[in-house]
Structure 1
């Protein structure tokens, strides 16, 4: 009896290892392309912000040339909300495009990343926050210095983070049995194919509380820049509340010291069905 039980356990473990290896082979190309795409996007934004900061250092912040520079930053980028010049007091002195000019003069000095810019005078990629425009965004902001090295403020690009990441990831997973999500190190979900999960914090949101396996997995993701593992969660978000085992791998992209974790999971392989946590409470 014991030998039979050990054989069953061994077979289950072998099947799990084999399935995991097969999943990794499918997921890694997607993960590498997603990382490369976001990294390229970060590099492009950094270059354009750096160029804009250099140009702004030589013009009147409130002149038409400054507005032209800001409009050039946002042009062709559907994920950009607006671009702004922040002065040394933390006020938005110029905002473009035109529909957002009504926010000129707003004091944003209490926003964590603006306070950090004014203190460190270094480029910053913020965490997700609610902007004065009333939108959940991230801010790419670059310091502006005069030719003499005097700190003049910063040039800001507000970005819809789910749009930026989604534009890159969605085409990569369209024809493969994989899905991907992106989170901040603190557990806040930046992007997910299920829009109901975007903006939720895996570690604090009641929505995730029944899924201890997912929370544990995400804690590991938060600590390590890359790796692989598995967790239990809904098969297809809120569309299908059957809870299944998901195999996942993750990697990291970073800019200005801020890190985003990209997690790719395989979802269409036959999975181990686990009881629905909602039903288990009844």
Structure 2
């Protein structure tokens, strides 16, 4: 029975991971060239970056489940109430900063051992009425809960792993209690920090587990009162409910009604469209929706009609080459003055049609911003190689030469990247790069 439970857990995760195509999958370039993004219930329409985040999230919980699988046998042999079993769960607790507490639960649903010591007063409490424990007892398989109010007095998600005896009878479980504002911040925030996107993690019923601030946890994205500024709310919400992966666009009203979530998008002078993508992260019998929206609006920065794209590219290339050789520009890049560099990049951008964005990287290979701001990275370290494309930036920077390549944009769509080293004599003090969308 123990082997069957462990095998069922591992197989379910491996099947899920096999279904998450990351970067090698066919990629449909849905970008911001002015055309409407057709609503699509299709993972191929999802940017590779979101698929990558999905895989990282699944891997995180997979590793945690494997760790629990290795410890239930120890507790079964030591006994649920033994001091040695408390030492086992204490070891699990200390390995992971995001675990609020770790406990041993008997077959009736009574908490018989909890670490850390601050929660010891909850030992003896009954959790048998909690939905995830009922499911655990019915199926005798590992369970990952939805968001609930823990007996300890805070919102949590729980991972339960059954403990069986020599006769393969379930005698209890290990329970890990996690605060979503900590665990998902630890997993997801480093992946999207500085990127020009907004990321949400929600349950299939719309309850938020991760958003822009801890205060949003527990809010429901399907509550129209929170998203009253989205004019096609019902259509997009319906598609997200019914489809495990897809792409659509939201129509954002220029003025948000009272009660709407603030800061959802940059201020717009008129109704605007914004892309939105989602995938499903499934582990055990629990499914979450990962939702990503670029910070920019759709339908801006288009190449003018009837224009010669090749001539536009040549003009931008010559202007970029001239800019990186200007002593004044070299000086502000070397000094790291973000405001002055941004003003120069803004002038460069506004004087040339067809550019999606222009940005700069300092000598430590950190992207410090650009123009437009809502399409630019902020303090994004390319050396961390969050996505394979980042390695191209590192290689280009280290080469000290002008480079170009075509790659998916993190926020969706495809762009051609042009990279220009900024040098003071023989010393490279930074790099300028701009992007032109590939249709």
The reply to whether TM is greater than 0.5 is: yes
- Superposed CA deviations along residues 128-183 of structure 1, whole A, max 9, x for unmatched, are 00001111111100111012212101110011123222222222222321121011
Which protein shows a greater Rg?
2
Q: Map 1:234-253; keep pairs closer than 5 Å.
A: 237-239=261-263, 242=267, 244-253=272-281
Query: In the alignment, what sits opposite 2:413?
Result: none
Kindly indicate whether residue 127 of structure 2 is the aligned counterpart of residue 108 of structure 1. Answer: yes
Q: Which residue of 2 aligns with 1:276?
A: none
User: What CA RMSD, in Å, does the superposition of the two structures yield over aligned residues?
Assistant: 2.9
- The answer for the alignment partner of 1:99 in structure 2 is 118
Equivalent residue number for residue 154 of structure 1: 173
List runs of 5+ in structure 1 lacking aligned partners: 1-12, 273-282
Change (3 A) 1:76 1:205: farther
C-alpha separation between the residues in 1 aligned to 2:168 and 2:298? 61
SS of the aligned residue for 2:174 comes to strand
Alpha-carbon contact 1:30-1:264 (below 8 Å) kept: no
Contact 1:141/1:156 (<8 A) preserved: yes
Compare 186-195 and 226-235 and name the one that shifted more.
226-235
Counterpart Cα distance in 2 of 1:205 and 1:223: 17
Q: TM-score, normalised by structure 1?
A: 0.81
CA contact (8 A) 1:84 1:155 kept: yes
Task: Quote the offset at 1:209 in angstroms.
Answer: 5.0
- Map 1:6-85 to 2 at 5 A: 15-17=34-36, 28-85=47-104
Q: Which has the higher helix share?
A: 1
Secondary structure (helix, strand or coil) at the match of 2:275 reads strand
| Stretches of structure 2 lacking an aligned partner (at least 5 in a row) | 1-31, 255-259, 301-439
- TM-aligned CA distance change 1:169 to 1:271, over 3 Å: farther
Matches for 1:129-168 after TM superposition, within 5 Å: 129-168=148-187
* Residue 259 (structure 1) aligned to one of 278, 282, 287: 287
Corresponding residue for residue 124 of structure 1? 143
Moved more, 169-178 or 124-133: 169-178
Paired residues in the alignment total 257
| Structure 1 residue ranges, 4+ long, deviating more than 6 angstroms after superposition | none
